[in-house]
A and B are shown apart, each in its own frame.
Chain A
Amino acid sequence: MSQKPQTKKVDYRLVKYSPWLVHFNTGACNGCDIEVLAALTPLYDPERFGVKLSPSIRHGDILVVTGAVTKKAADRLKRLYDQMPCPKFVLAVGACAIDGGVFSKSYSVVGGVDRVVPVSAYIPGCPPRPEAILDGVVKLLEAIKKGEVESYGCD
């Protein structure tokens, strides 16, 4: 995944106004997971952006991935990504999802979500605050509106 996304004027209306998130943990310490969970509670009010947790992968728009990708979880991640309907985007949350974090040299860690699926946005932090996670989602939505992000694997 090294080419720059072309600015295609694709209509991502469904995603722009009400993105449904699917959360997947590929071997995290749960620090990022509880912050993702906290980001969906009333104090941070994600529903003002239309952000909701989706009941199933078939209805998901944005895949939120946490965790240093362990070798077994990598297959599941790929399968999950393939099952998502287009247009689809991936958010890598936390230092471990970006490049493996502190576990990058371990024998059972692949090291980074972008080695398995194409990633649309990265949210650094260990763990990132819930505000940062929501900020990342909003910035991704802005970029989608402007057509700066492409949904890979769709055509």
Chain B
Amino acid sequence: MYDMSVTKIVEIPVVTTEVPIGPQHPALHEPVMLKVYADGEEVVRVDVNTGYNHRGIEKLCEKNTFYRDIFIVSRVCGICNAVHANCYVRALEQILDVTPNRRAKFLRVLSMELERIHSHMLINAVMAEIVGFETLFMQIMLDREKVMKAKEILTGNRVSADFMIVGGVRRDIDDVKKEKIKEILLKLKPRVEYYVKVFEEDETILKRLIDVGKINYRDATSHSFVGPPARASGVRIDSRASDKYDAYDEIPFNVVTRNEGDSWARMMVRWSEVMESIEMGLYILSNLPLDGNPVPDERRLPRKFPPGEAFTRVEAQRGELTYYVMSDGKSQNPYRVKIRTPSFNNIVNSAFMYVGYSLADVPVILTSLDPCISCMERVTVIDLEKGTRERIPFKQLSSGGKR
């Protein structure tokens, strides 16, 4: 049945990623995300099935009004909710030809950058746990709580911010809140510098991450990788720098790239982006424009949408996120909403990355692509030689299957 010498099959089930809208895999028996065929400990082939949660969001968007869809769309992914809402709202603004004022743009960027910080810290904490560094996981999660507090001060909620609306944002901040957020960012900065140092110097992390899952420039572009996995291979793509939406044309920042292309480079790109985001946050708070109320009057928002279409891109935490919105001008609902999340490209097209590495490297590579954290499920290991089938926790796979 297997043409190569395969002695083990590992099924890594995942019920969720942030890919949710389009692709999903109510496959054959179980939603299996990665099916890894191994000869002993070496991976010979990987099938990536999309075991995602298909909630039929694109169809759902066609049944609700344009404005209600803002709330549906930000629940595509809880970790990326600000960028989803932002991309969709900007597509609507393109169709309606509305521009928010500068203060609203700055506040939008602040909420998106805070989200970037918390998401990158989360995936780095998960990576630390995968390589066995539990203490570091707990430490990073503790510092991440500061960022959640800052998000709550800015938008009113820790996770689902619901901060974006056509024409601006939904609430303004005053000086007291500004000072509090600034304080939090200043306290966070030395902690992040310490974590960067740990990732650069700790033996365990270096041994487990360097040269694992290496991809070069050509692999990254031909397989449509986006975000930190592409930037870690030298591909200088960043929607913030190219499209310059919202206030990114006024706020100075650097696009971080590296050349190593391995899992370590991918995590380091994320830490560098956290440092950049902290600097951007501080710049925004010190230079917040005073050109008027960033909150539009919701009663005055246009009810009738003219026919038109727009394609907006946003730099989400995981990469380039694109929205295509089409309005036929005949109803209050959109005709088509297409969401292409970055994990869709990164995870589905990644099957070639695992071949040749050992089984224990598979969780490391998967985590370095930043799938959603609920992938910490139980994994089924089918040993063809011994004829056994056992379930072990995902983390255990990374320690070579030993307790």
Direct A–B touching in the complex (beta carbon < 8 Å)? yes
Kindly identify, within residues 42 to 62 of chain B, every residue whose CB is under 8 Å from any CB belonging to chain A: 53-57, 59-60
Chain B interfacial positions (CB closer than 8 Å to A): 15-16, 18, 20, 24-27, 30-31, 53-57, 59-60, 63, 71-72, 75-79, 81, 122, 138, 141-142, 145, 148, 158-160, 372-374, 378, 391, 393
Task: Tell me whether B77 and A30 are in contact (CB under 8 A).
Answer: yes
- Closest chain A CB from B1 CB (angstroms): 26
- Kindly state the separation between the CA atoms of A55 and B77 in the bound complex, as whole angstroms: 26
Asked whether A43 and B142 contact (CB < 8 A) given A76-B15, A106-B60, A127-B78, the answer is: yes
Task: Tell me whether B141 and A38 are in contact (CB under 8 A).
Answer: yes
Instruction: Enumerate chain B residues within 8 angstroms of A24, measured Cβ to Cβ.
Output: 15
Asked whether A29 and B75 contact (CB < 8 A) given A35-B158, A42-B142, the answer is: yes
- Kindly state the separation between the CA atoms of A43 and B373 in the bound complex, as whole angstroms: 19
A10 within 8 A of B: no
Question: 14 new A-B pairs (CB below 8 Å) besides A28-B374, A126-B160?
Answer: A26-B53, A28-B16, A32-B78, A33-B373, A41-B138, A43-B142, A55-B393, A56-B391, A70-B26, A70-B53, A106-B57, A108-B54, A108-B56, A127-B158
- Closest chain B CB from A129 CB (angstroms): 7
Task: Tell me whether B373 and A37 are in contact (CB under 8 A).
Answer: yes
A27 within 8 A of B: yes
Chain B binding site: helix, strand, loop or mixed by DSSP? loop
Number of A-B contacts (CB under 8 A): 129
Instruction: Enumerate chain A residues within 8 angstroms of B148, measured Cβ to Cβ.
Output: 38
- Closest chain B CB from A112 CB (angstroms): 14
Chain A interfacial positions (CB closer than 8 Å to B): 23-35, 37-38, 41-43, 55-57, 67-68, 70-73, 76, 101-103, 105-109, 126-127, 129
- Kindly state the separation between the CA atoms of A28 and B374 in the bound complex, as whole angstroms: 10
Instruction: Enumerate chain A residues within 8 angstroms of B63, measured Cβ to Cβ.
Output: 105
Q: Can you offer 19 A-B residue contacts whose CB atoms are under 8 A?
A: A23-B374, A28-B16, A28-B374, A29-B75, A29-B78, A30-B78, A33-B373, A34-B78, A34-B373, A41-B145, A43-B145, A56-B391, A72-B27, A73-B15, A76-B15, A101-B75, A102-B71, A103-B57, A126-B160
- Kindly state the separation between the CA atoms of A32 and B122 in the bound complex, as whole angstroms: 14
Task: Tell me whether B75 and A31 are in contact (CB under 8 A).
Answer: yes
Task: Tell me whether B160 and A127 are in contact (CB under 8 A).
Answer: yes
- Closest chain A CB from B17 CB (angstroms): 8
Q: Which residue of B18, B75, B142, B372 is within 8 Å of A102 (Cβ)? A: B75
